[in-house]
């Protein structure tokens, strides 16, 4: 009985397995050794329709439901090469979705159709030498000059950044606006001024990981994805899918490691019997199988939420956390079953072991996953969605934009609360309505209430319930306004406590 996959999904799985057995598995060792996957393979993937499973037919996609993608990710993750799985999942689920969800027709025609066809390989470049977990702190700039942007900066650890054809780069189009100044730009890998250095790494040997530098790179303005200043929101939506895809792959990797180990344990003998007859190892297998099964079905639950169009931040973060930590544990324990052979390259266990180590780091570390979950569980923070999910269903929480950018209350810091309200009211009235209510709660020192549900933002000292409540002392509020206190670190250190709709709270950065 299978509650998630229908017969057609299993038929698809069998066809995919046959394809992987013929076109991929026989070559994996070579690709790992050469630290490179030949581009020709992606065209074969494209011809089979494997790179556009959830994309519309108009762009060459298959327009299938998300469960086909679950099957796809499971099977590519069972090829015993994390590097191979990473290359293809970054292409289909971590970079090209931004084009489809937020890109113009021009970008879809020029880049998305080629990515689906396997003619172009793409990368997503978020991480910088000085900004990994702290994404809002990126420094790469894109300055508008006429019909172009001029991009300067550096990125690091970028999968597909060496052999890929284009990069979706996270840039600051307005460096003064923090998260509200972040945008996404498509940059051709061979554009003048783009340099890539291939990084040597512990695992994922067949995938290429780049350090990229952008030196006055001229990028056409039409390569902007969506709107300027919305990049952070697009990313928040994209990262949920990235984490979910990661979780599917990690669990499938656990299954593959177990299958590989069970086969070995049935053949390897010690003390006159197969090692799978030793009770201590049998119990370990029982424990590991139980944990894999439990995690797998939680991940399927998250897949169902995603397929239904839910913006499941808490669940996807939990799935990523649990599955990535599990894969590391399973790989370590499976290697133990192999004794000395597990340490040798001729057995795939060694590769699975080193490949497993990236799980708790890439796409948001375990510590960051725990931060997100803790905020939602303890502080009752809710995250608003960022655009559509992979099936194109609009997320009702994602409709509000960051539209208080123009508010500049820095000069008002010495004013009393009353005059601050007056100053904010004038500026907020000029900005587009928030679409919701926001309250700064200063405890005994009063509060500022912004009602953006009507045609304009109305600022007052009313003490009313709001969709989003920001608890902060008035002194810290003034420090935030004056720039003495960084909003992100105030948030991390608990000086700002947010209750309610986190999507509204994210606008704080631009507000102050």
Ligand X SMILES: Cc1cc2nc3c(=O)[nH]c(=O)nc-3n(C[C@H](O)[C@H](O)[C@H](O)COP(=O)(O)OP(=O)(O)OC[C@H]3O[C@@H](n4cnc5c(N)ncnc54)[C@H](O)[C@@H]3O)c2cc1C
Binding site for ligand X (CB under 6 A): 90, 123-127, 132-133, 157-159, 201, 204, 209, 358, 361-365, 367-368, 371, 492
Annotated catalytic residues are 242
Yes or no: say if 167 and 212 are a contact pair by the CB < 8 Å rule: yes
Torsion angle in degrees (nearest 10) through CA of 278, 279, 283, 285: 20
User: How far is the C-alpha of 23 from the C-alpha of 41, rounded, in Å?
Assistant: 8
Q: Which residue number has the CB closest to ligand X?
A: 132
Q: 10 Å Cβ neighbour count for 43? A: 14
DSSP three-state, residue 7: helix
Q: 10 Å Cβ neighbour count for 27? A: 16
Yes or no: say if 154 and 215 are a contact pair by the CB < 8 Å rule: no
Reported as type and span, the H/E element at residue 438 is: strand 437-441
Taking the complex as a whole, how short is the minimal distance between the CB of residue 46 and ligand X, in angstroms?
Answer: 20
Strands 224-225 and 182-188, sheet pairing: antiparallel
Residues contacting residue 378 through CB under 8 Å, at least 6 positions apart? none
Taking the complex as a whole, how short is the minimal distance between the CB of residue 201 and ligand X, in angstroms?
Answer: 6
Residue nearer to ligand X on the CB measure, 406 or 493:
493
Taking the complex as a whole, how short is the minimal distance between the CB of residue 363 and ligand X, in angstroms?
Answer: 6
Could you write out the DSSP letters of every residue in 170-239?
EEESSGGGGGGGEEEEEEETTSTTEEEEEPP-SS-TTS-EEEEEEEEEEEEGGGEESSTT-HHHHHHHHH
Taking the complex as a whole, how short is the minimal distance between the CB of residue 237 and ligand X, in angstroms?
Answer: 15
Residue nearer to ligand X on the CB measure, 141 or 336:
141
Taking the complex as a whole, how short is the minimal distance between the CB of residue 200 and ligand X, in angstroms?
Answer: 11
User: How far is the C-alpha of 391 from the C-alpha of 218, rounded, in Å?
Assistant: 33
User: How far is the C-alpha of 359 from the C-alpha of 215, rounded, in Å?
Assistant: 32
Taking the complex as a whole, how short is the minimal distance between the CB of residue 282 and ligand X, in angstroms?
Answer: 35
DSSP three-state, residue 5: coil
Taking the complex as a whole, how short is the minimal distance between the CB of residue 321 and ligand X, in angstroms?
Answer: 11
Residue nearer to ligand X on the CB measure, 69 or 127:
127
In degrees and rounded to multiples of 5, residue 231 shows phi and psi of: -55, -40
Residue 178's Cα: distance from chain center in Å? 19
For the record, the structure tokens of 15 come out as: 């066809």
Please return the burial class of 23, using the count of CB atoms within 10 Å of its CB with bins 0-12, 13-18 and 19+. middle
């Amino acid at each position: 009985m299978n509650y998630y996959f229908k017969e057609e999904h299993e038929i698809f799985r069998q066809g995919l397995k046959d394809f992987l057995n013929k076109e991929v598995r026989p070559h994996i060792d070579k690709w790992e050794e050469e630290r490179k996957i030949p581009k020709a393979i992606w065209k074969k993937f494209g011809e089979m329709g494997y790179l556009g499973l959830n994309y519309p037919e108009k762009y060459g996609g298959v327009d299938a439901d998300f469960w086909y993608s679950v099957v796809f990710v499971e099977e590519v993750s069972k090829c015993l090469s994390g590097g191979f799985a990473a290359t293809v999942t970054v292409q289909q689920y971590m970079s090209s979705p931004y084009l489809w969800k937020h890109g113009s027709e021009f970008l879809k025609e020029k880049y998305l159709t080629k990515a689906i066809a396997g003619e172009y390989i793409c990368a997503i470049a978020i991480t910088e030498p000085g900004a990994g977990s702290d994404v809002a702190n990126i420094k790469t700039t894109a300055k508008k000059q006429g019909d172009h942007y001029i991009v300067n900066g550096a990125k690091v650890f970028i999968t597909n950044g060496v052999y890929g054809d284009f990069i979706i780069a996270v840039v600051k189009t307005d460096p003064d606006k923090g998260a509200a100044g972040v945008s996404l730009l498509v940059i051709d890998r061979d554009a003048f001024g783009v340099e890539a250095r291939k990084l040597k790494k512990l695992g994922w040997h067949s995938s290429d990981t780049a350090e990229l530098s952008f030196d006055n790179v001229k990028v056409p303005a039409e390569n902007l994805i969506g709107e300027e200043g919305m990049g952070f929101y697009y990313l928040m939506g994209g990262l949920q899918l990235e984490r979910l895809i990661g979780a599917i792959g990690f669990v499938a990797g656990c299954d593959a490691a177990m299958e590989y180990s069970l086969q070995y344990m049935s053949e390897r003998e010690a003390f006159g019997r197969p090692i799978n007859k030793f009770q201590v190892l049998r119990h370990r297998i029982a424990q590991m199988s139980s944990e894999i099964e439990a995690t797998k079905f939680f991940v399927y639950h998250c897949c169902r939420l995603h397929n239904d169009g839910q913006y499941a931040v808490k669940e996807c973060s939990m799935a990523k956390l649990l599955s990535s930590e599990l894969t590391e544990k399973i790989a370590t324990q499976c290697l133990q079953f192999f004794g000395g052979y597990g340490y040798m390259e001729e057995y795939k266990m060694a590769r699975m072991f080193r490949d497993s180590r990236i799980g708790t780091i890439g796409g948001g570390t375990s510590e960051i996953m725990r931060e997100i979950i803790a905020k939602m569980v303890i502080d009752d923070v809710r995250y608003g969605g960022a655009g559509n999910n992979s099936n194109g269903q609009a997320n009702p929480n994602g409709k509000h934009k960051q539209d208080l950018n123009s508010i500049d209350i820095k000069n008002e810091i010495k004013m009393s609360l009353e005059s601050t309200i007056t100053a904010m009211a004038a500026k907020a009235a000029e900005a587009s309505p928030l679409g919701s209510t926001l309250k700064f709660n200063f405890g005994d020192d009063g509060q500022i209430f912004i009602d953006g549900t009507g045609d304009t933002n109305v600022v007052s000292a009313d003490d009313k319930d709001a969709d989003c409540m920001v608890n902060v002392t008035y002194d810290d509020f003034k420090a935030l306004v004056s720039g003495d206190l960084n909003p992100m670190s105030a948030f991390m250190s608990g000086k700002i406590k947010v209750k309610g709709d986190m999507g509204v709270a994210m606008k704080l950065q631009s507000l102050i």
